[in-house]
Amino acid sequence: MARSRDAGYVSAYEVQAAYTPNPLKVDYLVVAGGGGGGNGIAAVAGGGGGGAGGLRSTVTVTGGGGPLESALSLSAGTSYVVTIGAGGAGDVSGSNSIFSTITSTGGGRGGNNVAPSTGGSGGGSERQGVGANGTVNQGFAGGNGNANGAVGAGGGGAGAIGGNANGGVSPGAGGAGVAIGISGSSVTYAGGGGGANNVSSNAGVGGSGGGGAGGINGTVGSAGSANTGSGGGGSSVPGSSTITGGAGGSGVVILRYPNIFTISIGGGLTGTTALDGAFKVTTFTAGSGTVSW
């Protein structure tokens, strides 16, 4: 005799077939550390501005260094690497930032009596040379120097090329950063550092998004703002010594995901989580480690 089925009975197969898990789709902003500004070298020129760290994002505005990328489809219970790139000290390139398979390249250092470095965005040259290239889809090249002036060019930004050294006495401004709304409000990141000036009273301004200004007549370039990936300003020295360039700003990683998920942040990372409607936003400002949901 066949066994009758309870009206309220549901098989394990039917439960599994009816259950569709919410996908873990993660939007991201990954900004690398900015490059340090070029040292001021006596009787040569003011240092070039440091290039901004590379910027990659799934939430951005038109005009950035790269195209809008796609959110990552991740698995709950799996660990993913997060690394926040440090800004470069004066005359040193920035470090890479990483989230899972996404890597943004550290910004290039500004030039002095040697060529600037390539990076996410390239460093600006001093008067004798050409700005360094940025990384495709992450940032732009630094500005070119002017052989007739003792001034530095601006470093590249994620939103625009760095300014060239202009005429005989005007240093270049840092390239512009990019405004991103991943955290719920618009914040600008990854501006280039400004070039320094050895011979006059003006200096290159830092690019929007936290780029450091260049130094004037023997002063150190300003540092790029922390957690923006902006470049440091070049330094100036009309005397007989060398002055180290301004430091680049540290990078940042910001993740946005459905609020039904809870993130677990491993040791070695500094991060905070905020609720934004149907999403959570976790911002990492320092360290290296793993996360999972």
DSSP 3-state of 13? helix
DSSP 48-70: PPPPPPPEEESS--TTSSSPPPP
Q: For 101-233, where are the E strands, in sequence order?
A: 102-104, 178-180, 187-189
Contact 194, 176 (CB under 8 A): no
The reported pLDDT for the residue numbered 167 is 61
Q: Please tell me the distance from the alpha carbon of residue 49 to that of residue 126, in angstroms, as a whole number.
A: 9
The reported pLDDT for the residue numbered 293 is 98
Model confidence, pTM: 0.91
Contact 116, 129 (CB under 8 A): yes
Residue 90 CA from chain centroid, whole number: 17
Contact 131, 90 (CB under 8 A): no
> Which residues lie below 8 Å from residue 34, measured CB to CB, with a gap of 6+?
50, 51, 52, 53, 87, 88, 94, 106, 107, 190, 193, 211, 224, 228, 229, 230, 231, 232, 248, 249, 250, 251
The reported pLDDT for the residue numbered 168 is 64
Q: For the chain, where are the E strands, in sequence order?
A: 24-31, 40-41, 55-57, 72-74, 80-83, 97-99, 102-104, 178-180, 187-189, 242-243, 252-258, 264-265, 269-276, 279-292
In which residue are the tokens 């936003």 written? 281
Q: What are the angstrom distances between the C-alpha of 183 and each of 69, 168, 203?
A: 17, 43, 33
Taking each continuous run of H as one helix and of E as one strand, the counts in the chain are: 1, 14
Angle at 40 between CA 35 and CA 44, to 5 degrees: 125
Size (the chain), residues? 293
The reported pLDDT for the residue numbered 60 is 74
Residues of the chain with pLDDT under 70: 1-22, 42-44, 61-65, 166-168, 238-240
Q: Please tell me the distance from the alpha carbon of residue 247 to that of residue 15, in angstroms, as a whole number.
A: 57
